[in-house]
Amino acid sequence: MEEKEEIIVKTIPLANDHTLELLDLSKKISDDAFQVNMTARLIIPVKETLFSPETLAEYSLEKIISKVGPTATFKHEKIRNFIMSPDKDTVFTHLVDTFMETLLPYVSKPSFAEKFILKMYREKDKEHKLINLSKDNN
């Protein structure tokens, strides 16, 4: 069995000034079969220019960075199991093509980074509040 090796198969500059990476994280699971893994990754530096004035009036950049960190990483992973060796490349190409048709337009939108980071912020804020609530109840 092989470990997952990260292979960047394509980098795509997006209209929103970010760069999407398409990764092949497939691994061999038997002598003649693979787990095919196509992962799309978008690393977004958290910076003021991503946010509307309305967002920055509600949340300070420092507060967002304190919850999310200096970068936010969007990942979309598609996995197919027990793909025979001769079919591996065809299946991987199909996963890439499907991503390009369905999700590429979404992650290319100018508002994607702001919306994604705010979603992460709200999730982290909710987790933080739940942790503090459970500590208060103990």
Reported pTM: 0.86
Element (H, E) at 8: strand 7-13
Instruction: Specify the pLDDT at position 132.
Output: 74
Q: For residue 15, is pLDDT > 70?
A: yes
pLDDT band at 1 (very low <50, low <70, confident <90, very high): very low
35-77 per-position pLDDT tens digit:
999 999 999 999 999 999 999 999 999 999 999 999 999 999 9
Element (H, E) at 125: helix 112-137
Alpha helices in 40-111 (DSSP H): 53-58, 61-68, 88-102, 104-107
DSSP state of 103: T
Q: Is 24 helix (H, G, I), strand (E, B) or coil?
A: strand
Average pLDDT over every residue of 85-90: 97
How far apart, in whole angstroms, are the C-alpha atoms of residue 42 and residue 48?
18
Residues 6+ apart with CB under 8 A from 47: 61
Percent of the chain residues topping a pLDDT of 70: 93
Average pLDDT over every residue of 17-24: 97
